[in-house]
């Protein structure tokens, strides 16, 4: 019998086949990791492909026409994603975010949205179901996503100036089309809409105040994200990070703002509101103010590898269990054991000078396009 050929693109990150505990108790929804952090947020990547080539995520010199993306047979089916999500919900997940790559490039994504929208917590409540997109096809998809059950949407937009935006997405995509997508999402009721701006010093930091002015008073929440050292292909340098404190100072100098309390435990964004009532902004200090201590997020890659940290170098191969004839109870028990052993806190260790920047014990860290933000 001929050997089975496994595409190299499917082996890019180390993944362990999870241990299935014997006689494990059913999920209670109260599970905690080794540091006492609950499991509340699941981010699901539905594709590793994107039509942008942003330098901080998928630089064109790496992700060119010869790059081997994951073969379709490797991707989790919508049924497999929904089954896995149901088991995570049993462990306490209350929020699911669909990511990519660019998730709207996954064909018939609204079908998956509809399947996930039917899930309920043990108390019978619907999940908080949201999605992050670059907005390139949002104008065409917004209403269908809302009709399928998507509740909210986050759009990545790094500049309001068209020339700057085209340089950053490196696909010559116009900012007007993303703004049209945001307007379509607003009309469809996918709000409150959040807009994420990755701030890179010397590249787009002069766009901070124009972006704030544009979205002030619209009901859209603009969030500024520090340029992160995710993966190894983006050439990250600390001198290109503009601290969130400086972002706040720039906005404050033009548009008075005041700090407000977080909405929920584990929220990554520090919230600020305009003093005149014009809405709010957020800052995500992923480099200068690590928030590992209350991180309650798990990440499922497009081919079913579970990652416990955005900066992880290895995952846990849930697809092997989903396709290996295991029962829901067995897979739920495996997920529970993985989470209970979790002790990841890369950003805190980096801030304390105890973690290598750009590598983790020589292992290859997961890339942003593969696991989502």
Rounded Cα distance, 98 and 151, in Å: 12
User: What does the pLDDT average to over 201-208?
Assistant: 95
How many residues in total does the chain contain?
Answer: 373
Q: How far is CA 121 from CA 26, 27, 89, in A?
A: 15, 12, 6
Strand (E) positions, the chain?
14-16, 41-45, 95-99, 128-133, 152-156, 194-199, 221-226, 257-260, 270-274, 280-284, 297-300, 305-307, 314-317
Omega into 56 within 30° of 0, i.e. cis? no
Give the residue from 183, 181, 208 showing the smallest Cα distance to 197: 208
The pTM of this model reads: 0.91
For the purposes of burial, counting CB atoms within 10 Å of the CB of 213, is it exposed (0-12), middle (13-18) or buried (19 or more)?
middle
In order of their start, the domains of the chain are 8-371 (3.20.20.70)
pLDDT tops 80 at residue 182: yes
Rounded Cα distance, 12 and 370, in Å: 10
Helix or strand or coil: residue 131? strand
Rounded Cα distance, 222 and 247, in Å: 12
What pLDDT score does 24 carry? 83
pLDDT band at 94 (very low <50, low <70, confident <90, very high): very high
What pLDDT score does 234 carry? 59
pLDDT band at 239 (very low <50, low <70, confident <90, very high): confident
User: What does the pLDDT look like over 114-152, one tens digit per residue?
Assistant: 999 999 999 999 999 999 999 999 999 999 999 999 999
Bigger pLDDT: 201 or 285? 201
Give the residue from 333, 348, 339 showing the smallest Cα distance to 299: 339
């Amino acid at each position: 019998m001929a050997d089975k050929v496994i595409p190299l693109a499917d082996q890019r990150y180390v993944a362990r086949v999870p241990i299935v505990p014997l006689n494990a108790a059913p999920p209670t929804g109260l599970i905690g990791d080794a540091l006492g952090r609950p499991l509340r947020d699941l981010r699901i990547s539905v594709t590793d492909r994107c039509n942008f080539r942003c330098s901080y995520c998928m630089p064109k010199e790496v992700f060119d026409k010869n790059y081997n993306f994951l073969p379709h047979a490797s991707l989790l089916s919508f049924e497999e994603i929904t089954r896995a999500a149901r088991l995570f919900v049993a462990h306490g997940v209350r929020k699911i975010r669909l990511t990519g790559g660019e998730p709207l490039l996954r064909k018939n994504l609204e079908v998956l949205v509809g399947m996930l929208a039917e899930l309920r917590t043990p108390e019978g409540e619907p999940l908080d179901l949201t999605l992050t997109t670059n907005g390139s096809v949002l104008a065409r998809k917004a209403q269908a996503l809302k009709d399928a059950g998507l509740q909210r949407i986050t759009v990545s937009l790094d500049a309001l100036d068209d020339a700057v935006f085209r340089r950053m997405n490196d696909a010559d995509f116009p900012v007007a089309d993303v703004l049209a997508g945001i307007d379509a999402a607003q009309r469809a009721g996918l709000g409150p809409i959040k807009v994420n701006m990755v701030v890179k010093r010397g590249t787009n930091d002069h766009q901070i105040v124009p972006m704030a002015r544009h979205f002030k008073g619209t009901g859209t929440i603009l969030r500024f994200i520090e340029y992160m050292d995710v993966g190894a292909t983006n050439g990250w340098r600390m001198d290109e990070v503009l601290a969130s404190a400086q972002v706040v100072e720039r906005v404050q100098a033009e548009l008075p703002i005041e700090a407000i309390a977080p909405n929920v435990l584990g929220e990554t964004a520090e919230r600020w509101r305009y003093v005149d009532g014009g809405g709010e902004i957020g800052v995500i200090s992923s480099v200068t103010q690590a928030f590992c201590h209350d991180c309650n997020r798990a990440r499922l890659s497009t081919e079913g590898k579970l990652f416990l940290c955005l900066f992880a170098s290895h995952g846990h191969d849930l697809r092997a269990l989903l396709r290996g004839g295991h029962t829901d109870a067995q897979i739920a028990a495996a997920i529970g054991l993985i989470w209970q052993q979790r002790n990841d806190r890369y950003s805190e260790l980096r801030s304390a000078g105890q973690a290598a920047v750009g590598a983790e014990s020589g292992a290859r860290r997961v890339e942003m396009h593969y696991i989502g933000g």
